[in-house]
Structure formats: C-alpha cells, structure tokens
Structure 1
Amino acid sequence: MNLGYWEIKSWFTNIDFAVVGSGIVGLHAALRLRERFPESRILVLERGPLPQGASTKNAGFACFGSLSEIIDDLNNHTEEEVIALIRKRWEGLQLLRRRLGDAAIDLKPYGGYELFLKEDTAGYEECLRRMPFVNELLKPLFKTDVFAREVDRFGFKGIHEYLIFNPFEAQIDTGSMMQALLKEALKHDILVLNGQTVTAYHEMQDCVQVSLGDFSFSAKKLLFATNGFATSITNGAVMPARAQVLITEPIAGLDIKGTFHIDRGYYYFRNIDNRILLGGARNLDFEGETTTAFGTTDRIQGRLEQVLREIILPDTEFTIAHRWSGIMGMGSHKMPVVQQLSEHVYCGVRLGGMGVAIGSIVGAELAGLV
C-alpha cells in the first residue's frame, strides 16, 4: 500500500474496533459501538468505492414480508420463529427511522401490494384462505389487521382480481439513507476507508492482526458485516444471492404508487421519480445467481422486461434506462447470523434479502456482542 508514517499513525494505530463492511449493518454497528465506548477508535473498512453488496443497490423497500412469503415461511419454520423474524424486521425499520429521521431516508408510506399471476391460482387461493389466520398471528405486534383484499386500480394485466394490501409498508431512497448513515459516522468520529479489502486475519492473544494485501495492522476486536460475502467465515451458513434490477426512463402520467411483490417476493417493483424500478427473477436460475460476481444476464433481464411489458405496464410505452445487480446473503434459515466467531472476532450477516428492514437491528446486536 506504500503507506507513510503519518498515514499509519492517523488511520491504522491503536484501533479498538475494526468493522469490515460499510453498509447498513456495518455503520449501525459502528454507531452503536461509539455509544457504548465513547473514547474508542473505530475504523470501518470497505472494499468498494461505495458500500458493496446490497446496501446501495437494493430496491428501497421498507417491508417485512408479503403474505405469500410469510405463508411460505410458516410452511418451513415454526410460528414462533416466523413471528420473531417479522418482529425483528419491524423493530429494525423503526430503529432506522429513529436513527436517521424519515426526511433523511425520504420515507413514503404508500403501503405495499401483492399481485398474483393468473397461472398461480393455488397460491392466490391459499393466501386468501389463510389471510385471517396470519392477521391474527400478527395482531399482537401491529394491534390491527396487516393484510386486506383490494381490487386492482392500477391497470395491471394477467393477474387475479384482488391484490393484497399492507398499509404498514413504505418505500425509501436507499442512496439518501446511506449518505445519511455515512454523515452520522463521520459526525461521531468513525473513520471509513474505501478501497480496502481484508485478505486475511490472524488472532493474537489480545488482538487481531488484519491484513490488507501486503499491509497489516492490529485491532482489539474485528467485526464482519459483509452479508452475502461471508460464506468462508461462517463455514457455509451464508450463501451469496445475486439480485438483478432494472429501472425505466421517466414515464409521463405514471399512476403507480407503492411497493409491489409478485410470486412470494421473487419479483418486486415500485415507483421512483416517475419511473418503475423492477427486480427479481432469481428463481429462474438459483444456481447461476448463487454468486458474488456483479452483473446481469439476458435470461433474467429478459424475464423482467416481459413482466414489465405484459403485467405492470401493458398499455404504456417505456424504455429501460439502467440495469444493475446487488449481492444478498441467504441461507437455510432466514434468521440472521449474529455471533462471536472467536475470542476477538464477530459477525452480523445473512440478512435474507431484508437488509433495509433488519440491517439496523443486526448492526446493533453485532455491537452488543462485544
């Protein structure tokens, strides 16, 4: 790295806490550490020019699970586990709002909707049938029904008559959110260094030796907040999941407002700046999308365009303005992995595609382990 004396002294000396990853989890962990240890030296390391992974690449959904996703979870987890996960997501969203304020994250409480494709009659009927049960399950947390039927008023095509509406969902601007978090970190004397890849770490008796290529420094504690890039440090408990996204050019007279899910959350779209942002279709190629490589594929992008053209905007001309991808962290269980890995090393990872909702509370819990 060809560092000089002043650089080593100012940035890499007497580090109490080194946090790997400057996304939602990493910055919330650093801020919580500052609250707990006011005099400590905290260094956040980020390998990308911007927060890599999903923190600045997601769709900006302030949500905690569509009805079909919750029903799918109930088929694979206990009721207690599903309720605990939804509670964690909901409390995480409230923590994010308290930390930054609704104006800073541009929160818009338009509510959320779930669409059901005509060919998914079984899933549609199951959701309508089990909706009262799920509402009762969630009533202790929300004090009222979460889900209700609504007739489609947006002009979608190829879907069943009713949408499922959730008034507790909202949308945010994740770019504004991350800028606000970075400003908070700087305000609280937390160093954030970009372009720094942790290539190895070695635990000593009273510290951790952290390697950045051919340079290394010591930190008393090392915290990983690398989500989808945490496969190796968690022995495979976390697997990467690439999520591909596209966004249209502005559309005159666009009358779609809200956050929308299709097919158990595998497709999701929203309005933003008179555009439609659409992501998903990972279930077309689970194997190919289990990767940490950023990029897009013709197969998935083609399907996203088809959904736009045939379902979301069937009578509207549109042009694709931009395409991108983010890397999520998934696993066999949807609860995040927040644990101590060794004497001086910790991790808060596997957000399950719900980083906006759960990232702040996972960061706080990660800092709480120290």
Structure 2
Amino acid sequence: MIALPNDDNSCGWYQALPPAAPATRLKGSQKADYAVLGAGFAGLAAARRLAELKPDARIVLVDAQRVAEGASGRNSGFVIDLPHKFALEHPDPVHKQKLLGLNRAAIAQLQGLVERHGIDCQWSAVGKYQGAVGERGIAFLEHFEHLMKDLGEPYHWVDKAELGRVLGTGFYRQAIFTPGCYLMQPAALVRGMAEHLPENVELLEQSPIRSLRREGGLWRLQGDEGEIQAPTLLLGASIFTREFGYLKNRLLPVMTFASWTRPLTDDELTRYGGELNWGLTPADHAGTTLRMTADRRILIRNSYKHVPKYGASVSEGMRSKIRADHRKAFLDRYPELAEVPFTHTWGGVYAISRNFTNFFGELEDGVYASACDNGVGAAWGTISGTLLAEMAVGADTQALRDIRQVTGMPSLNPPEPFLGLGVKSRIRLAKWQSRSEL
C-alpha cells in the first residue's frame, strides 16, 4: 500500500492563484520513453531537460496531486544560493564551492524560464536577511560571518535601526544581509513552469501511482484508471521515494508550517511602516522565518513536526496549536497590527536525513532519483532534476560530476518506535533551546 501525500487545501500560496485549468488524468495504457514521477521542482526540471536532450522521445510526467499543491508550492518562497547551514560546516571548501555553483546554476535556470515565459510569480533578486533577536541569535550570526569569510562570499551587518526601517518592527537586534537569494511566489512559479513544458512532455495530474513493478524490460506504473509503461523511470518524489521501496529506512518525513495574513490595507501598511518584498531567515535555524510579500502579506513560519503519515499526521488540534504559536510570533513583532487576521495556515512535508546528505543517482537499472533535499528544495530540486535527466541519457558534464561529488547515501535510521520518539524529542529540544529567537 503506497501512502499518498494527503495534503489539504489550506496552502495560502496555492489558494491565492486563479483556478487551474482542468487536469489531464492517467487513463488507459500509456507508453513512454521516459516516465517522471512527481511534478515539483525536481520532476519539472527533469522532464524539461529530458525533452531538450531527447526531442523525439515521449516523456510522461505524472503527479498524485495538482501541480503546486504539494511541497514545491508550499515553501516560504526563498531560492537560496548559499549552501544549507549544515553544509556550510563542511571542512572542504571545494565541496562548498561546488554546492554554491549548483545552486546558482539553478537560480539562473529558473530566472531564464520566468523571463522567457513571462511567469507572474513575484520573482525578485532582493537578497535575504538572517536575523537575531537576542544573544543566542547574535552568537549564531557571528559564526555565520566566519563561514561567509571562509567561503569568500559578500555579506554585511545590518543594525537594529536599519533593520527596523525595512522590516517595520524593532523586534530584531541585528542581521546579516546576503545578496544572492531570490524571492518568489512558489505555487505561481511551479504552475507557470508546468504550463510551459516542451511539447514532447505530457503532464498527468491527480493520478496517484499505486504500484511499481518491472516487467519485460519495462517499468509499469499502475494508477487507478490506467498505467504507464517506460524503460526508464526518474523519481522526483522526494520523501515519497520510500513509498516505492527505495531508501526505505533512510529518509525522515518532516513538515514545516506557515501562516500568513490577508493583504494589508493602505492604513495598515502605513502603521506597519516597513518595506514590501523582503525575506528573513533565523540565525538560529529553529527560530522564525519572516516574509513580507510583494502583495502586502506577512508570513510567519516556525513550527516543525515529524509526520510519518504525511498530511494524515496533521490533526485540527495540531493545526490550531501551530496557528496560535504563529499568532504569538506575529503579535510580538507587529502589535500595532493585532486586528489583521491570518487567512491560511499550512504545512509542507519534505525529506531530511540524519547525516544531512542528499541522495542523487541510480537506484537500480533504469531507475534514477533525486531525494532528500534537507529543506532547501527550490534550488536543489531544480538543479538535481536537471542533472538527473543528464545522467539518465548518459551525458557527461562538469555539473553532473560536481553533483555526484557532493551527494551520497543518507544514513540508516533506527527502527520505530525509537525513530519517532527521537525525532520528536529533538524537535522539542530545538524549540526550547531557541525559544528566545521565536
């Protein structure tokens, strides 16, 4: 039995979009040269690159949901060039430079698609702030400065007064600004890319795959009303890779949650007093992520949960508690906007590994996967999906060699119930340690 995403319709980014055109579903027997499972950042990039490399091939891209309903449309809208915070600790500077180059290649690719197809997704090169509230946060910022110096990347400190002019709040004590991050509306970006796929890619939505088996040299993906037969399969399904029997005990499903407001009125915007279109991530990784969107919405993200059953693990009681935590964080920062309501609270599930290692490569003959983005999916999904297509057709590029060198095998997890207990305890401990930064 394959467990499905089971996401609800609470995602603010998705609900802010116009209604989608009717979906094309998997029906009958479909034959393809390549099947791509998962239409998020990785799957879309893989299908596009396959179509470019093999213009005469038929590529079928299939997803259990509508495009942008899943994790790729549920993130906080950052496309970050710098390696993940844990990867920044890597002792080899060449390793970090390769990650940086891969992330920047992804950003360039996404920007090219946005410009070429006129995708309306609030795409903007505005950099990001990494903010600290108290002494604990300042200590993390000082360490981050050291890492930036080692990497040779530009940054500058932002004091409380300057930060307050941008953010419209005096809650933060200091920040470090880095210029290479892009902001966007993730659901709009993902949907826009799906609407402009090459002609030899067929997109099938709302078509969950219930089983996967190899028969006569072909992979057979069985859905509710049809199947796909293809000799080569690319998995861009992140955490759901384990549902097909791969990396089964190596991926941890974690959901991070966000809430946002309706767009501020002119009067509320005056009281807010800050700028539009910025993003702040916490110096302490378990702290609060904060966004002001280009269309005047304030977004708060600071809650993490272990979700072994994905969306089915989220109860209304859990959502209410998370929403209350978000409300406290919002009022701490913007008490003058106390009457502004939240309109949506949502979560998105992603895969992490205990050794913070991303998987990229061939799982078995004819099956390729990019799995475990460790929470930085927009850039990593884009570049890993692109290069997975190159691997599948036997290409040899410097970028492909680089990604092979910086990825590996996620470490094994302990068995249940020890795994669940350990993850929940670690999340609770991180929240308690970071309480001053929330």
Q: Secondary structure at the match of 1:223?
A: strand
- For residues 9 and 333 of structure 1, do their structure 2 counterparts lie closer, same or farther at Cα, with a shift above 3 Å needed? closer
- 2:18 paired residue number: none
Number of paired residues?
Answer: 347
Structure 1 residues 211 and 130: CA distance shift in structure 2, 3 A: closer
**Do the aligned partners of residues 268 and 221 (structure 1) sit closer, same or farther apart at CA in structure 2, a change above 3 Å counting?**
same
The CA deviation at 1:180 is 1.9
- The one-character-per-residue Cα deviations of 1:103-155 (angstroms, maximum 9, x if unpaired) are 5243122321122122xx13413422551x3233332xx5xx23433432234
- In structure 2, the residue corresponding to 1:341 is in which secondary structure? strand
Equivalent position SS for 1:159: coil
For 1:227, the equivalent position in structure 2 comes to 238
Give the Å deviation of 1:336: 2.8
Q: 1:240 aligns with which of 245, 250, 253?
A: 253
Q: Distance in 1 between matches of 2:179 and 2:237?
A: 32
Q: Secondary structure at the match of 2:195?
A: helix
TM-aligned CA deviation for residue 188 of structure 1: 2.2
* Distance in 1 (alpha carbons) for counterparts of 2:328 and 2:321: 11
1:98 corresponds to 2:115: no
Residue of structure 2 in register with 1:218 after alignment: 229
CA RMSD of aligned residues (A): 2.8
Matches of residues 58-207 of structure 1 in structure 2 within 5 Å? 58-64=75-81, 70=85, 72-75=86-89, 78-101=92-115, 104=119, 105-118=121-134, 121-128=135-142, 131=145, 133-139=146-152, 145-151=154-160, 152-153=163-164, 154-160=167-173, 162-185=174-197, 187-207=198-218
Task: Say if 1:229 and 1:292, in contact at 8 Å, map to a contact too.
Answer: no
Checking the alignment, whether the CA contact within 8 Å between 2:27 and 2:227 is kept in structure 1 is no
Pairwise CA distance, 1:77: 6.3
Change (3 A) 1:99 1:250: closer
Deviation string, structure 1 residues 139-184 (Cα, Å, up to 9, x no partner): 2xx5xx2343343223434432x22112222211223212221122
The whole-number CA distance in structure 1 between the counterparts of 2:187 and 2:56 is: 30
Q: 1:308: which partner in 2?
A: 330
**Matching residue within 247, 256, 262 for 1:249:** 262
Amino acid at match of 1:203: R
Q: 2-side partners of 1:243 and 1:10: how far apart?
A: 34
Cα shift at 1:327: 1.3
1:220–1:309 distance in 2 versus 1, CA, 3 Å: same
Q: CA deviation at 1:214?
A: 6.8
Are residues 126 and 250 of structure 1, via their aligned partners in 2, closer, same or farther at CA, if it must alter by over 3 Å? closer
Could you tell me whether the CA contact under 8 Å between 1:201 and 1:210 is conserved in 2? Answer: yes
The one-letter amino acid of 1:270's match is R
Over 3 Å counting, the alpha-carbon distance change for 1:147 and 1:83 in structure 2 is: farther
Pair 1:269-2:290 in alignment = yes
The alignment-based identity, stated in percent, is 18
1:368 aligns with 2:390: yes
Classify 1:265/1:108 alpha carbon distance in 2 versus 1 (closer, same or farther; 3 Å). farther
Could you list the runs of 5+ residues in structure 1 that have no partner in the other structure? Answer: 1-6
Say whether the 8 Å CA contact 2:64–2:206 is kept in structure 1.
Answer: yes
- In 1, are the aligned partners of 2:258 and 2:303 still within 8 Å (CA)? no
Query: Does residue 290 of structure 2 align to residue 259 of structure 1?
Result: no
- Whole-Å separation in 2 of the counterparts to 1:290 and 1:309: 32
Query: Amino acid of the residue matched to residue 177 of structure 2?
Result: F
Q: Comparing 251-260 with 97-106, which one deviates more in the overlay?
A: 97-106
Q: What is the identity, as a one-letter code, of the residue corresponding to 1:125?
A: A
Letter of the structure 1 residue corresponding to residue 250 of structure 2: A
Secondary structure of 1:303's match? helix
Which letter does structure 1 place at the counterpart of 2:186? Answer: T
The equivalent residue for 1:23 is 40
With over 3 angstroms needed to count, the CA separation of the structure-2 counterparts of 1:216 and 1:369, relative to structure 1, is: same
* 1:326–1:122 CA distance, 2 compared to 1 (3 A): closer
CA distance in 2 between partners of 1:279 and 1:122 (Å): 19
- What TM-score comes out, normalization by structure 2 length? 0.72
Give TM-score, length-normalised by structure 1: 0.84
Task: Report which stretch shifted further, 47-56 or 356-365.
Answer: 47-56
How far residue 264 of structure 1 moved from its aligned partner, in angstroms, is 1.7
What letter is aligned with 2:290?
F
CA distance in structure 1 between the aligned counterparts of 2:43 and 2:37, rounded to whole angstroms: 7
Q: Deviating runs (4+, > 6 A) in structure 1? A: 7-11
Instruction: Tell me if the contact between 1:171 and 1:259 (Cα under 8 Å) persists in the aligned partners.
Output: yes
Which whole-Å CA distance do the structure 2 matches of 1:310 and 1:10 have between them?
51
Change (3 A) 1:199 1:130: closer
Instruction: Extract unaligned runs of 5+ from structure 2.
Output: 1-23, 393-438
